[in-house]
Chains A and B, each alone.
Chain A
Amino acid sequence: MRSSAALFNPSPPLLLLLVPLLIFSHLLPCPLAADLRSGDGYTIAGRVKLGATSKESGLPAKLTNIKVILNGGQSIGFARADGYFSFHNVSAGTHLIEVAALGYFFSPVRVDISARNPGKIQAALTENRRVLYELILEPLREEQYYEKREPFSIMSLMKSPMGLMMGFMLLVMFVMPKLMENIDPEEMRRAQEEMRAQGVPSLSNLLPRSN
């Protein structure tokens, strides 16, 4: 229902900070609301989620060694086991959050912290301009770093140069006699005689004769 509202409101005032705050405040280490009001900046808190796109649906993907990067390296945060992360003392303005997780492609997220009305924060994925209502970062896709070995198939063997060579040979061996059969035997004989007369070297002539 909220998403339909979003269609008509391109930049709704976002509750992304407050939403996780209210629901998960018992989980978070420090009272965010207090930090929000304190003078020395704002807090950006969110969550990294891998599970939704993980192929092995049985086990949730592990969140070790996931870094969350603010403004291209200004500060680096780490995701907790449940995926939560936070940045403290962030100034008002437009910021960029990136997630570095091996094996996943995350879109950077644009986070606007309004200086005029404190606490009004907006976030959107920069790759596809999708607006986020909560700062839940999910990978756009999984990344496979290796080329997949094609399983062995007759076709791939056939397509290789050697396969083509063999194929052509077989074609000549089995199809050509068939073609020859269709030729009128009279004509065939004449042709053969002509060939003999011309002394076209045949394979049998080239090979050393045993008799």
Chain B
Amino acid sequence: MGSSHLRPPTAMAIRARLGFVILLLLFFSATLSAALYEDQVGLADWHHKYIGKVKHAVFHTQKTGRKRVVVSTEENVVASLDLRTGFIFWRNVLGKNDDIDQVDIALGKYVVTLSSGGSILRAWNLPDGQMIWESTLPVSTPSKSSLYVPANINVGKDNLILVFGGSSIHALSSMDGQIVWRKELSIDSLEIQQIFQPHDSDVINAVGFVGSSEFVVYHISYRTGEVMQQSKASFESGFCGEASLVFDNLVVALDASKSSLVSISFKNEVINFHQINLSDLVPDFSGKVTLLPLKFNGMLAIEIASSIHLLRVKGANELEFVEKISHPFAVSDALPLSKEQQAFAILQHEESKIHFKVKSDNDLRNEILKETIQMDSHRGNIEKVFINNYIRTDRTHGFRFLVVMEDHSLLLIQQGEIVWTREDGLASIVDSTTSELPVEKEGVSVAEVEHNLFEWLKGHLLKLKGTLMLASPDEVAAIQAIRLKSSEKNKMTRDHNGFRKLIIVLTRAGKVLALHTGDGRVVWSVLLPALRRSETCGNPFALRVYQWQVPHHHAMHENPSVLVVGRCGHGFDAPGIFSIVDSYTGKVQNSLMLEHSVSHIMPLPLTDSTEQRLHLIIDAKLQAHLYPKNSDSLKHFFNEMPNIYWYLVEVEKNKIRGYSLENKAELDTAEEYVFQAKELWSIVFPSESEKIAVTATRKMNEIVHTQAKVVADQDVMYKYISKNILFVATVAPKAAGEIGSATPEEALLYAYLIDTVSGRILHRVCHQGAQGPVHAVVSENWVVYHYFNLRAHRYEMSVIEIYDQSRADNKDVWKLVLGKHNLTVPVSSYSRPDVMVKSQSYFFTHSVKSMAVTATAKGITSKQLLIGTIGDQVLALDKRFLDPRRSVNPTQSEKEEGIIPLTDSLPIVPQSYITHSLQVEGLRSMVTIPAKLESTTLVFSYGVDLFFTRIAPSRTYDSLTEDFSYALLLITIVVLVAAIFVTWALSEKKELKEKWR
């Protein structure tokens, strides 16, 4: 479907279509953007909010009223969720490199987050998420740092929040974030492990290691930061740096060899060490050992060879083995039930069941609570659990479990039931593709809504009332409800306009989900077994998703499928992973571990006889592997092999190289599908003056309607349309950093247009005083790129359009229409192109996160640029604003053609934000999908949130709009017919009267 070999349109087609295009231009030159009315929100668009994989969670359930859980996530989101429903009360998305280290609640009303390696502490208002204060801590080296918020809330006393990491402790007022005291414990290489406060005392204890063998205890005044007591002792065999606080005066640490535990007791400046061999404690001890950070009195959890061992600490030298729990499991932090009692939860996975156990420190052998629930297998294993308790009516303790699963979803479990689920893996989409829905089968009923003519008419009458502003508020609500729940858009079959599709997304967790374009619901989801952590593949990594098989015509009964490509580890030489998933059911059809690595994936515009798309995988050794591996695909591939060219951009080496393919000399059967790369050309950018900032190409499946562009005075310009154009932007290495880091004199930006078959540079332009970040989009014969102009200190957008001069003789549109032209000469990369380039630059107000261009089924509709702004909105900007032929005073004929007078900056019309009053938090990418209806493009944008809508860049000229009033049309017809009869009767009467006269 997407494969379109470039072929000049025939004269007939041009003749027929040209008229249509001109007609369209005339009709729609006046309308620039199709804006939305407020009551149309939700008709064609949907917006889903997510938060990402939860790292920390703090419950807030003490007070009556709203019960919340405050979470921080890997997407740097801090959010407050409704504990009953899982809905987001509020959330704040922090910057990209502002990772949240810890989150807690202070004073019962502020959410405190520590971020950026322990250097920024912020407090947010618990009810609404408003930032209350922010404090920057002078941390010399970002290190693992922690937050200590004292739990005992003494009213009237200003509680201090302690932040510790490295060798420093900061105490901040929780009211306003002022640093009250700061203690730099002046010992080099001190690593504070834990801070704790014995009950009701004004002294805090800090324990840590100096170097690898010394243990230090500080007693510090809570109010002033004064060191009151300090003691240290060294242990010969050394520590590995992991320690767990068991009692107020006892720490258990792992020794340097990781084979024995050291219990360290400290009391009144006396530190005693006791070494206990792990093999004495644990029956069959072998493998890697880690201490789990479990803040639990009198207990210790150690992970040995992926199973967990619970140890009870009875005294300084007395440890007792309690229980062994095998993988997969999760252990929660300790939860104080009362002053003396603590509880913690152990979750254990057993196939599709999860066993929940809650134990208290009084009795480790038995459980307070034991529950088992069924869990869908497509969520994977449990990764994390947080527990919270509540008092039941019979005064016993009940527990809630907040569970983070392997697919990053978040669940709340209470009384053995899943209360709510959040599909938060969707906050980290890696790649997406689309699939058509199945064709409606005969016999299956068509929309039942409109079967009843009376109901249908009633609905339209109601709508008419709405347009005439005669409807009462109740009726308005009814109209809105009718429009929103129209079942039409959510059906699981293909529709005539091509609005209903499946968006298939791949998330970072290795999960593939199919979303329905009607309302964004998850149709199916599967956690790919190949992309799960296993013994053979310790660190799997999801890369891309492609259409693998799109059956049409003769193979309609077959389901389409998608190809998911992954990699086993982050290096380029790590072996690749393939998985083929059925697009309708989510069933994994095939999955294999590749022997070679995956550094570049090329879907070819070729299919084999079963309509499987051919893919070339380039590995790190520059060998090309053909998939699917069958003789049929090989046959098809050999036909096209001389025409296959590809290139690699090596950003680190500042090099672009073009290749073709050749057969391997030694052809043994196993390597039949492996081809050797043959280097054809290379472009090396001088590394002292240029650094590759961005590259962009046309979308593989973009469809161009016509090569000819009719300009004023019936002239024709020919677009230089080549699939092989690569846009490269390079910046001066000095100005490669952030905006404030370079002066205009040292900044330079070069834009190149390169033909990737011949390596010829078609065009090169230099922007003085410009720097990155550069965002670019290539479509048809033009490139639009966004960069920062340091001289004006504003963002700029430039457009480059390339025209084919070799066809310039066919200037006259009549020549084109009559067929006297040389358009049948194919466009070839081999011939030296005779191109003409036009360009222009404009200021643009905002920073840009991502850019895309609309795509329609036949490429007739004019284009819009989609600009993801720094405010996480998506702006649709008509391409006509980025037309190099714009001038300050366009002539009359240019005006008729639709050329907008030149302005120095691009207009930002608020109504042309396709996200209207919503934000796609953490926006990363926008995907455009053509609908069957030529005027319409589907837009799917994702980041932390998902947003989907459909837009019509030139308005929906090929269909009636949603709010077209059929009732008004009917009434008009009825009135007209009635009027005909009335006038007829009148004229009859008059005639009769005349006759009587």
Please list the residues of chain A having a beta carbon within 8 angstroms of any beta carbon in chain B.
29-30, 35, 38, 40, 63-65, 67, 69, 71-81, 86, 88-91, 93-96, 98, 100-103, 105, 107-108, 110, 126-127, 143-149, 151-152, 157, 160, 162, 165-166, 169, 173, 203-204, 207
- The answer to whether the Cβ of B522 comes within 8 Å of any Cβ in the partner chain is no
| Closest residue of A by beta carbon distance from B915 | A145
Which of chain B's residues have a CB closer than 8 A to the CB of A127? 845, 905
Q: Mark B865-878, 1 if CB is under 8 A from A, else 0.
A: 00001111100000
The answer to whether A103 touches B917 (Cβ under 8 A) is yes
Interface centre among A86, A98, A151 (most CB of B within 10 A): A98
- The answer to whether the Cβ of B636 comes within 8 Å of any Cβ in the partner chain is no
Q: Which among B60-68, B176-184, B541-549, B946-954 touches the partner chain?
A: B176-184
The answer to whether B135 touches A29 (Cβ under 8 A) is yes
- Residues of chain B from 879 to 921 with CB closer than 8 A to chain A in the complex: 905, 908, 910-911, 913, 916-917, 919
- Residues of chain B from 123 to 141 with CB closer than 8 A to chain A in the complex: 125, 128-136, 138
**How far, in Å, is B797 (CB) from chain A's closest CB?**
14
The answer to whether B847 touches A72 (Cβ under 8 A) is yes
Which of chain B's residues have a CB closer than 8 A to the CB of A95? 739-740
The answer to whether B740 touches A145 (Cβ under 8 A) is no
The answer to whether A165 touches B871 (Cβ under 8 A) is no
Known: A73-B847, A80-B133, A127-B845. A146 touches B976 (CB 8 A): no
Whole-angstrom distance between the alpha carbons of A64 and B919 in the complex?
Answer: 14
Which of chain B's residues have a CB closer than 8 A to the CB of A146? 35-38, 41, 911, 916-917
Q: Can you give 27 contacting A-B residue pairs, CB < 8 Å?
A: A29-B133, A29-B177, A30-B135, A38-B138, A40-B138, A73-B95, A73-B847, A74-B739, A75-B97, A76-B94, A76-B98, A94-B739, A98-B871, A101-B871, A102-B917, A108-B795, A126-B793, A143-B910, A145-B916, A146-B911, A147-B911, A151-B469, A157-B468, A162-B972, A203-B983, A203-B984, A204-B987
The answer to whether B468 touches A152 (Cβ under 8 A) is yes
Interface centre among A29, A88, A94, A204 (most CB of B within 10 A): A29
11 additional A-B residue pairs with CB within 8 Å, beyond A145-B913, A146-B911: A29-B176, A63-B130, A74-B740, A75-B95, A96-B739, A100-B871, A127-B845, A146-B35, A146-B38, A149-B38, A149-B39
Whole-angstrom distance between the alpha carbons of A104 and B667 in the complex?
Answer: 66
Known: A145-B913, A162-B972. A76 touches B794 (CB 8 A): no
Whole-angstrom distance between the alpha carbons of A64 and B38 in the complex?
Answer: 22
- The answer to whether the Cβ of B720 comes within 8 Å of any Cβ in the partner chain is no
Known: A71-B740, A72-B788, A73-B870. A162 touches B969 (CB 8 A): yes
Pick from B125, B738, B972: contact of A165, CB below 8 A: B972
Which of chain B's residues have a CB closer than 8 A to the CB of A94? 739-740, 743, 790, 793
Which of chain B's residues have a CB closer than 8 A to the CB of A65? 92, 129
Known: A102-B919, A108-B845, A204-B991. A78 touches B95 (CB 8 A): no
- Residues of chain B from 81 to 101 with CB closer than 8 A to chain A in the complex: 90, 92, 94-98
The answer to whether B131 touches A80 (Cβ under 8 A) is yes
Whole-angstrom distance between the alpha carbons of A76 and B122 in the complex?
Answer: 13
Which of chain A's residues have a CB closer than 8 A to the CB of B125? 81
| Closest residue of A by beta carbon distance from B131 | A78
| Closest residue of A by beta carbon distance from B773 | A72
| Closest residue of B by beta carbon distance from A206 | B984
**How far, in Å, is A77 (CB) from chain B's closest CB?**
7
Pick from B96, B910, B979: contact of A144, CB below 8 A: B910
The answer to whether B976 touches A72 (Cβ under 8 A) is no
- The answer to whether the Cβ of B152 comes within 8 Å of any Cβ in the partner chain is no
- The answer to whether the Cβ of B12 comes within 8 Å of any Cβ in the partner chain is no
The answer to whether A166 touches B975 (Cβ under 8 A) is yes
Chain A to chain B: the 4 pairs with minimum beta-carbon distance, closest first? A100-B871, A143-B910, A76-B95, A152-B469
Whole-angstrom distance between the alpha carbons of A107 and B846 in the complex?
Answer: 8
- Residues of chain B from 704 to 762 with CB closer than 8 A to chain A in the complex: 738-743
